[in-house]
Chain A
Amino acid sequence: MTTSELNRRRFLTAISGATLCAALPTSVLALNDAQAKKLIDKAVVDINKVIASGKSINAMIKDFERIFVKYGDVPIIARSALGPDARNLSKSQINAYTNAFQGYIARKYGKRFNEFVGGKINVGGSRKVKSFFEVKTTVKLRGQAPFEVNFLVSDRSGKSKFFDMIIEGISLRLSEKAEIGAMLDKRKGDINGLIADLKKAG
């Protein structure tokens, strides 16, 4: 093997390595403070736009759903709200459930957006917790003392997304876990019944 041949191989290895890296999901490249904060910065810009838009409630719900899907990891929030039961579902069931859950969350929280009119969300600092980041924001609504809303951001799905929103200590994911659990109990564990109820709830 000539030297030039060896160099060529090394070069090819390096090239294919670089290509491979680019093709890999971002989870290999660890999420950092600044990226987590940037995600929430962008989400908050979008949310502030919806608040300022003065649209009808139904339009705001649609906008909120788009933001939720764009910046939130809906599949993991939905599955963890359902708990271990989620593992035993068929692919079509989990898809139907996730869709129903997404619409339910959008209606339940999106319809509250009119209370936010005149309000403003500001992004503060972030810190690492376990495998994810917590990004702090402060929400100031008209005539009310500001309150704290923290977003938990992870890239373990392959993309940087938030998987929880903690309002003054109250986790949306965990509150919904209790609620979805109660809804499933009402249907005596029947997932299709739960999906039907979710489509109407919120």
Chain B
Amino acid sequence: MVHGFNKDVDKYLFSPASNGYGSLFPKPVRRGFSNFADHLSLPNDVVNHTLQGDLEEATGSAFRFVVNTIFGLAGFIDTATAMDIPRDDTDFGETLTVWGVQEGAYVELPFFGPSTSRDSVGLVTDIILNPFVVVFRNPTQYVGAAAYVVDRMGDRYDYDTSIDSILYDSADSYAQARIIYLQNRRHQLGVAGEETYVDPEFDPYEDPYDDF
């Protein structure tokens, strides 16, 4: 099972590597790498916001890219947020959602972890059509991927307790990863409030008092 594989990858490779990364570099340095990774994903955000018909956010992301390239040391410093230009990250999975594609089944992807059929298509599309990968040639095109992995290691280190509790302390880590991913992803995609009835299996707004 993919979940077991991912847990092994985490246990023997990703978690130790992240611990090494976290203890080697202090927080401000890790933040710089994280900012840089976010920065490199902005062109992709611009494309997806545009495809979603959200020109305001597309312009915002483009402006953010320009500001942080020039005034943020090529993206290592997040000057834009300090200037109150917030980041609204998006992906092709969200674009598909806006286009009316259904969520599909929950799946766990090797290395990438929890996803859905729709988000898997989104992820692959984002990787292939990422402006960075399309525009640049070897080896610059891999800068984005490297920054992504480093950023993920930083997250793994910062959220160590939460992730360990889900993966290693719960009675069924597959079930926990699934329910947490799906609820959080639906929240991100703006499936909020009473429209959460897409899955009667877990509707946070069901009334538990009706059952007892």
A residues with CB within 8 A of B: 76-77, 79-80, 84, 86-87, 108, 112, 115, 127, 129-132, 134, 143, 152, 154, 156-157, 163-164, 166, 168-171, 173-175, 177-179, 181-183, 185-186, 201
Closest chain A CB from B90 CB (angstroms)? 16
Closest chain B CB from A31 CB (angstroms)? 12
Contact A174 B202 (CB under 8 A): yes
Alpha-carbon separation in the docked complex, A22 to B170 (Å): 45
- B 168-196 binary contact with A (CB < 8 Å = 1; else 0): 01111001101110011111100011100
Contact A175 B176 (CB under 8 A): yes
List 26 interface pairs A-B (beta carbons < 8 Å), by A numbering: A76-B209, A76-B212, A77-B208, A80-B208, A80-B212, A112-B162, A129-B193, A131-B209, A134-B193, A154-B207, A163-B208, A164-B204, A164-B208, A168-B184, A168-B188, A169-B183, A169-B186, A169-B187, A169-B204, A175-B179, A175-B180, A178-B176, A179-B172, A179-B176, A182-B175, A183-B171
Alpha-carbon separation in the docked complex, A194 to B194 (Å): 33
Greatest chain A CB density within 10 A among B165, B187, B193, B209 is at B209
Contact B27 A143 (CB under 8 A): yes
Report whether over half of chain B's contact residues are helix, strand or loop; otherwise say mixed. helix
The residue that A76 contacts in the complex, of B162, B185, B194, B208, with Cβ under 8 A, is B208
Greatest chain A CB density within 10 A among B161, B171, B212 is at B171
Contact A156 B204 (CB under 8 A): no
Residues in B with CB closer than 8 Å to A129 are 193-194, 205
Contact B209 A170 (CB under 8 A): no
Residues in A with CB closer than 8 Å to B175 are 178-179, 181-182
Look across to chain A and name the residue whose beta carbon is closest to the beta carbon of B174: A182
Known: A115-B161, A178-B176, A183-B171. A173 touches B208 (CB 8 A): yes
Residues in A with CB closer than 8 Å to B84 are none
Residues in B with CB closer than 8 Å to A163 are 208-209
Greatest chain A CB density within 10 A among B165, B178, B192, B204 is at B204
Residues in B with CB closer than 8 Å to A186 are 171
Alpha-carbon separation in the docked complex, A193 to B211 (Å): 24
Residues in B with CB closer than 8 Å to A131 are 207, 209
Closest chain B CB from A164 CB (angstroms)? 7
117-139 of chain B: CB within 8 A of chain A: none
Q: Which 7 pairs of residues, A with B, have the shortest CB-CB distance?
A: A169-B187, A182-B172, A80-B208, A182-B171, A171-B204, A156-B209, A183-B171
Alpha-carbon separation in the docked complex, A191 to B193 (Å): 34
Contact A132 B184 (CB under 8 A): no
Supply 10 further A-B pairs (C-beta < 8 A) apart from A131-B209, A168-B187, A181-B172: A76-B208, A84-B211, A129-B193, A130-B207, A163-B208, A164-B204, A170-B184, A178-B172, A178-B178, A186-B171
Known: A182-B171, A183-B171. A130 touches B205 (CB 8 A): yes
